[in-house]
Amino acid sequence: MIARCWRCLLLLVLLGVATGGHAAAGGSIWMLDIDDAIGPASADYLVRGLDQAQQQGAQLVVIRMDTPGGLDSSMRQIIKAILASPVPVATFVAPGGARAASAGTYILYASHVAAMAPGTNLGAATPVQIGMPGKQPGETKDDQTDTPDDQDTLARKQVNDAAAYIRGLAQLRGRNADWAEKAVREAVSLSANEALRLKVIDQMANDVPDLLRQLDGKTLQAAGEPRQLQTNDAPLVEHLPDWRTRLLAVITNPSVALILIMIGIYGLLFEFMSPGTGVGGVIGGISLLLALYALQLLPVSYAGVALIMLGLAFMIAEAFLPSFGVVGFGGIVAFVVGAVILMDTDAPGYGIPLPLIVTLAVASALLLGGVLGMAMRARRRALVSGDAGLVGSLVTVTQVTADNPFCGSVQAQGEQWQVQCATPLQPGQSVRVIARHGVRLEVSATAPTAQGE
């Protein structure tokens, strides 16, 4: 009996050694989707998805991708998470007609498995102004020199850095490093069939189930450990972007960020002009904070932000200064120029449409023009308060002094006044105020008053 127990224990140990390192057998498969430009929202979504897949014991993460490219900072954040993930990552360019351009090519090369569906393409990975080395943190285009030699040097530094980066990823995964460098230096692209022939990708599949059938039984190196996949009968769990990712995707859209700045500035302005309601202050404060949060995630030009703020300040000042439109026109020009140069990148999906900029500028001009018009009409209106509103007004005698019929009291502007008149007064008589002497009013009778009541 004891010998049998020892044999069972030895068998279990041998089985553990034989299967050691082949983790995640029978685990679920997580599928994440990228269907837009690579930015802060997609980076947050993928990094959190990889962390959750590891915590839930998934054996594989499939990233289904269709992207025109995106921001360099977000792309590198995603690649760092893929390289450090103990769960293998298979990036699948799908469905047919999808692409993995620019930043998507780098992510595809960094993944443990690179796959494409028929009718897809990848490539065109030449870097643009997306925060590559050669531009220091916080430096904008306006801070850089404008000489052609300096611009050529900066471009070469960016291209060389990007080429070395993607070549390193290709060598790490055993893929075609020469074509990867060519994609950066010459911006070339490949179809799915050509990519498979040139060993740029590992698999071609019609859809995700087809890809999983091809990956069944393969062993991949993830975080330095071998991981054997058992994907045939594994449950496929699709994790769509949650509310946090959707909100981040909306507010980090440069057009939305610009609109939030406008709402925030004008909301606070109207709250300061008519305090007490709280609506303008609440909406304006929330919008402005969301806009500032979005701007700190995006590659913005500080000169553009300064010009937008200066333009708004000039347009607001036009409502209070007798400049005959000069300050307001200058504000519109500053706002348009600032909005055009606001985004310090040429990455796809991160430009602000010129029609939107013009629409916001015109709307601001019309709004402030309306405020200025109301102010001018109010200025021309006759005063109805103070001495100007009191003298000349009609009032009714409420009381006559018993020992002096030439004096009495009237109700004017919500207050009780002592009055004197050149003719005797009677209660209920209408009189006109002709002068004010301190706390006493001088009145005159407007018409004869019937005797007795």
Domain residue limits, the chain: 19-244, 252-380, 386-445
Closest by CA to 299, choosing from 77, 47, 70, is 70
Query: Strand 121-123 and strand 440-445: pairing?
Result: unpaired
Q: pTM of the full predicted structure?
A: 0.68
DSSP labels, 158-222? HHHHHHHHHHHHHHHHT--HHHHHHHHHS--EEEHHHHHHTTSSSEE-SSHHHHHHHHTT-EEEE
**pLDDT for residue 85:** 93
**pLDDT for residue 90:** 95
Q: Look up residue 142 and give its DSSP letter.
A: G
100, 192 contact by CB (below 8 A): no
Q: Which of 74-78, 239-243, 324-328, 349-353 has the highest mean pLDDT?
A: 74-78
308, 338 contact by CB (below 8 A): yes
CATH of domain 386-445: 2.40.50.140
Q: Look up residue 414 and give its DSSP letter.
A: T
**pLDDT for residue 147:** 52
Residue carrying structure tokens 């504000």: 331
Please determine whether the domains at 19-244 and 386-445 fall in the same fold group of CATH: no
Terminal-to-terminal C-alpha distance of the chain: 130
Question: How far, in whole angstroms, is CA 453 from its chain's centroid?
Answer: 75
Which residues does 24 contact at the CB level (< 8 Å), separation at least 6?
57, 58, 59, 60, 87, 227, 229
Q: What is the tens place of the pLDDT at every residue in 35-62?
A: 988 989 999 999 999 999 999 999 999 9
DSSP labels, 14-69? HHHHHTTT-TTTT--EEEEEE-S-B-HHHHHHHHHHHHHHHHTT-SEEEEEE-B--
Output the six-digit token pair for 206: 């019609």
Output the six-digit token pair for 408: 């009495």
CATH top-level class for 19-244?
alpha beta
Residues 235-260 have a mean pLDDT of 89
78 by Cβ neighbours in 10 Å (0-12 / 13-18 / 19+) ranks as: buried
Dist CA 12 CA 32 (whole Å): 37
Residues 117-146 have a mean pLDDT of 60
